[in-house]
Structure 1
């Protein structure tokens, strides 16, 4: 392998799988950075798209949305001070992503990491952390109001803490959450089945499906909010001018297509603040399970089968 060639994991349409292939170290265009990836986060969207390929990826496409590493090159119009900075990022699904030694990212779409945060931990954060923040921002935060969260994956575990720390009372509908997690996250009440719920809520966050979210709308108070983190409700449930429910949908990846520079500046600024809170242990995040870069297929399978946060590290670099 030549001096300017390294390795990437690329998509193989015939088998809906990945293969390790040589990668020429990319050169940045105007406004871009090249990230020397030291760790790569695995998210459900990664293995779901590899299985189904809804975006019609071609042979050789590099998947992966989350990564953390060091800026190794900058393009025209980018300040040279970015060189050697430790950064984390969320990449667009339509372009080559993080499952490689090097990834190109727009300069306005990276977050500078706290010095105390490891690459492996930082790579586990962008997708769930930024999605949780988008969901958090959808509603006003009235101290003492009650909200319900349905489902408790990586996104909602962060969201619970953000809501609790803002002064809201948070209940959770989940068959898997433990009493220890409830105490750690600040959850008030755990419901195992919707039939147990007798309260009405100012807001409900659902991470299951649009139909599941729709089934919870009757549990909202007047002027309440339903926020879909997975899927969406296509049409209002209530008749017009009755309870006047507000419907929200969350799609972090959509910002790559429809967000402007101001949107990204706001999100990356909040992301840096949230990473600092994680580094300072003010937000609890479970330790990710680590695999070596050579074990990318095994890491994807582990993520899918275990539902535990999984990262891939380039061992020769990561602390």
Structure 2
């Protein structure tokens, strides 16, 4: 099978696409013929081994898992001896990061707990795009933010996967949503339905004097106090990603700001059944950047890392 291999830490465009044997499943795993996969922040970090602190997770000198990729959709080709949830021929999808990586390949070994059955009316591309980004948004807005009718919300990094799903989830609660991203993404964001869009290259939303009930942040580039001053009384700031140093600053700031400052620890696939229902009801849809061919994965990781993508980057395998 073809697979993208990260044998050492390197620039994404230097990744190899090689022929390797199809893996064999353990007792609780299934082999999935991958139909679509996606690019995520973890791939950008894993391939480069940067920030360096992540090497404590990935491997000090080279990646422990040589095949990146953490989201997929596909068809079950075989199952381990203890698998009870799936059978050969089932169409499945999910976020595999809780148990491992390896979705940048034609076949992937996946723990059965990482998968859901794909609805017939959902394309493989939509299914692959959904688990990680939609649940960053859902768990931030609903589980932590306790979003309610008519809230005023700002999403920083709104032109990517999390932001485009976050907008749609917030709109099911009739919220007013402001999106912040680069100027190149603003027209797409307006078309999706953001009530206001801000080009961060021209304006600093923390200096506008506008107050929000919730701020959901995929970038985390400012001091905790700058976010707090943008919140209404009782409002919450929730980060879903950023540099380790900035996340540590936020964690320490909780001593002062308590539950007004929050760092999402994503629980993979938790709530995905609710997202599927919203999709089937036509209340949310995917905003795809792609699908791209498999051979483009190395350069797409760079494309993601430079934040040039609009919506969720999807690769057809």
Deviations 1:77-106 (A, max 9, x none): 222743211111212287341011111222
Whether 1:132 aligns to 2:137 is yes
1:275 matched residue in structure 2: 276
Please state whether the residue corresponding to 1:211 is helix, strand or coil. Answer: coil
CA distance in 2, matches of 1:60, 1:107: 19
Counterpart residue number, 2:220: 209
For 1:216, what is the secondary structure of its paired residue? Answer: helix
Q: Which runs of 5+ in 2 are unaligned?
A: none
1:245–1:299: structure 2 CA closer, same or farther, 3 Å change rule? closer
User: Normalization by structure 2: what TM-score?
Assistant: 0.80
1:283: how far off? 1.2
Q: 1:213 to 1:125 in 2, by over 3 A?
A: farther
Matched, 1:21 2:18: yes
Q: How far apart are the structure 2 equivalents of 1:14 and 1:293? A: 20
Partner residue in 2 for 1:108? 113
Q: Which residue of 1 aligns with 2:179?
A: 172
Matched residue, 1:90 = 95
- The Cα offsets for residues 195-227 of structure 1, whole Å up to 9 and x where unpaired, read as 663332222212212635542111212222110
Q: Is the 8 A contact 1:114 1:276 kept in 2?
A: no
CA–CA separation in structure 1 for the residues paired with 2:288 and 2:41: 17
CA distance in 1, matches of 2:108, 2:29: 10
Specify the structure having the higher radius of gyration (Cα): 1
Partner Cα distance (1:311, 1:251) in 2: 24
1:10 shift after superposition = 1.1
- Does residue 181 of the first structure (1) align with residue 189 of the second (2)? yes
* Number of residue-to-residue matches in the alignment: 292
Structure 2 counterparts to residues 203-282 of structure 1, below 5 A: 203-209=214-220, 211-212=222-223, 214-231=225-242, 232=247, 233-236=250-253, 239=256, 245-252=259-266, 255=267, 267=270, 270-278=271-279, 281-282=282-283
Q: CA RMSD in A?
A: 2.8
Tell me the alpha carbon deviations over residues 42-84 of structure 1, each in whole angstroms, 9 at most, x when there is no partner: 2233133212253224487111111110111112322274321
Partner of 2:28: 31
Contact kept, 8 Å, 1:292 with 1:313, in 2: the verdict is yes
Consecutive unaligned residues of structure 1, counting only runs of 5 or more, are 1-5, 257-263, 315-319
> Separation in 1 of the partners of 2:15 and 2:98?
15
1:158 to 159, 165, 169: 165
